[in-house]
Amino acid sequence: MNYKLTFIFIFSFLLFSCDQSITNNSKKIKTNLDEKYSNSGFALIYKNKLDNIKKLDTRSLNIYHKSLKKRSIVKITNPNNGKYLIAEVKSNKEKFSNFYNSVLSLRIAEELELNFTEPFVEIILVSKNSTFIAKKAKMFEEERSVAEKAPVDGIQINDLNTIETQVKSKTNKKFSYSIKVADFYYKDTAELMIDRISNEASIKKVKMIKLSKTKYRVLIGPFNDIKSLKKSFEKMSTLEFENLEIINNV
């Protein structure tokens, strides 16, 4: 029976490794991740200065990312209001906590009307040859040009108004998020993953949700405060997952 479970685990892991990769050794897995990258989680907003991170221009449509290639084009969405924009990865060399899926410029955070105390975003890698980019490319270049020439003082005045409004509007919203580990085809495989997380990462708040007859999701949570969420997320780094996601329990 143990041999059967081991075989199922290995087979299922190889099948779904394009979405969740536990090792960095396979170039094929890494390529698939780059082509199909999608992630939801908390961003780090570059306002004035961040320790050990190069300055990110307040007015730019640029982001820092850990795994996507430099100059990759991404669609960034605020799931809370549906607003989105196109941005470009400026660098993947900056060092910041794995808890954050990106570092955003202040302009991006404002245009998406993010809650600055809870900056939850979805990032999707978009092919430069796609129809979506073809339609948005001209607008993206025009907006970037305008942003780079805009007076800093004017933007900062709008920043303060936007931040104040956002904080007030989100004050009463309940904080409730979970960490999505992966979706599995087999229930046995999902259960094996739960055991591994409990034993190797010392996390006990792990559960499985049946989404369909052939889809079982492993989640950690829910969490009612960002401190405990971040602590558990960083514990998962011992298992070397490349694309853990944070999902909003709405």
Q: Per-residue pLDDT tens for 9-55?
A: 544 544 444 444 333 333 333 334 445 889 999 999 998 778 888 99
Task: Give the tens place of pLDDT for each residue, 116-161.
Answer: 999 999 999 997 666 555 455 545 555 555 555 544 443 333 343 4
Domain ranges of the chain: 2-25+174-248, 37-170
Helices (H) and strands (E) in the chain, counts: 7, 10
Of 98-102, 165-169, 190-194, 203-207, where does mean pLDDT reach its minimum? 165-169
The dihedral region occupied by 113, where left means phi > 0, alpha psi between -120 and 50, and beta the remainder, is left
Show Cβ contacts of residue 25 under 8 Å, excluding neighbours closer than 6 positions: none
Strand pairing partners for 91? 64
What is the per-residue pLDDT for 77?
96
Query: pLDDT category, 114, cuts 50, 70, 90?
Result: very high
- Which positions ≥6 away from 30 have C-beta within 8 Å? 21, 24
In CATH terms, the fold of domain 37-170 is Barwin-like endoglucanases (2.40.40)
pTM of the model: 0.70
Q: Are 77 and 122 in contact, with CB atoms under 8 Å apart?
A: yes
Q: What is the pLDDT of residues 215-239, one digit of tens each?
A: 999 999 999 999 999 999 999 988 8
Domains 2-25+174-248 and 37-170 share a fold: no
Question: Residue 213: which residues within 8 A CB-CB, separation 6 or more?
Answer: none
Per-residue pLDDT, averaged over 172-183, amounts to 87
Report the CATH number of the 2-25+174-248 domain.
Answer: 3.30.70.1070
Angle between helices 2-16 and 187-200 (to 10 degrees): 90
Type of residue found at 123: I
